[in-house]
Amino acid sequence: MYKLEEPIYFYLFAIIPIIVVVFLLVLWWKKRTQKKFANTILLTRIAPNTSTFKSVLKLIVFILGLSFLILSLVNPKMGTKLKTVKREGVDVVFALDVSKSMLAEDIAPNRLEKAKQIISKTIDKLGSDRVGIIIYAGNAYPLLPITTDHAAAKMFLQNANPDMVSSQGTAINEALNLAKTYYDNDEQTNRFLIIISDGEDHQEETKQVAQNIANEGVKVYTVGVGTEKGGPIPIKLNGALIGYKKDRMGETVITQRKPDVLQGIADASDGQYFDGNKTENPVEAIEKIIGNAQKSEFETKQFSDYKDQFQWFVAIGLLFLILDMFLFDKKTKWLKKVDLFNEES
């Protein structure tokens, strides 16, 4: 396990593209200026040892050295000792809908990002409670097993997207069935499952599955994102909009939030349904529910001692910078003699 002491220094990596741009501009300026005095053949005879490759190599070595020095400022720390600690909390599993319909932008920035905001802010409100994350569309997959590491949960959450599931659709019952396997503490009396979706579920047995999981002691709450008016599903390439999803008739598909479906799931499991279009509403409601729940004691292991690792990055960074000092822009004589590309002939 590791942690970053000063992650703010990652912003210094913005210097690197600036250095590259300046290098390319200087290289372009040199080439342009040289052409004013002589053509390429004459320049080769006048300065036979000039090497663009060596200049690029020096730049790469310099950037590597600079990168390792920046990482040393961030100071990654490695955990060296595990200890067992006792905590009190509940188990909270989030089931996130990552179907294509969640890309609709009828709420800003889109339904999926709104759902992530709700989960992330809810995690921030949790104390020592354990959290787990499930993603689902046509199938359900475990994104993060139940854990006390809230930072890891938020990190995994940000990477969730529709491409992570093999089939599309909104099979909430798949997420409900998978959630049953998440609660690994038989003594835990308070187990929560929070489903965040637009409700476009097409499985008739979903309510029955929700009732079954409620009978096993899991409290199910649902959060709806999207508008009932709906919106088209954008198709993007490298972040640029290229069109909208169409049906077999060539008509643009309009996806709508189905609050009745989500309300039905909540009612079948004695839970509650929340409108998620305003982030603070479900976050505050869920925080209150979990805060009032009886906490169970459990044991967990965590790293207690962390050792600085910045010295390794300083050493490697300085090594690259020293190497850069001994590299020259001119061609290396022994490498020139090898003549790998038959330039002499």
Q: How far apart are CA 344 and CA 321, in angstroms?
A: 33
| 37-61 per-position pLDDT tens digit | 666 666 666 555 566 777 888 899 9
What pLDDT sits at residue 340?
45
Q: Which pLDDT band, with edges at 50, 70 and 90, does 178 fall under?
A: very high
| 59-73 per-position pLDDT tens digit | 999 999 999 999 999
Residue 341 has pLDDT above 50, yes or no: no
What pLDDT sits at residue 142?
93
Task: Please state the rounded mean pLDDT for residues 133-144.
Answer: 92
What pLDDT sits at residue 314?
93
Task: Please state the rounded mean pLDDT for residues 245-272.
Answer: 91
Average pLDDT, the chain: 84
Q: Which pLDDT band, with edges at 50, 70 and 90, does 232 fall under?
A: very high
Q: Which pLDDT band, with edges at 50, 70 and 90, does 148 fall under?
A: confident
83-299 is classed CATH 3.40.50.410: yes
What pLDDT sits at residue 337?
56
Residue 296 has pLDDT above 70, yes or no: no
Domain boundaries, the chain: 2-75+309-338, 83-299
What pLDDT sits at residue 217?
87
Q: Which pLDDT band, with edges at 50, 70 and 90, does 112 fall under?
A: very high
Task: Please state the rounded mean pLDDT for residues 196-205.
Answer: 83
Task: Please state the rounded mean pLDDT for residues 239-247.
Answer: 89
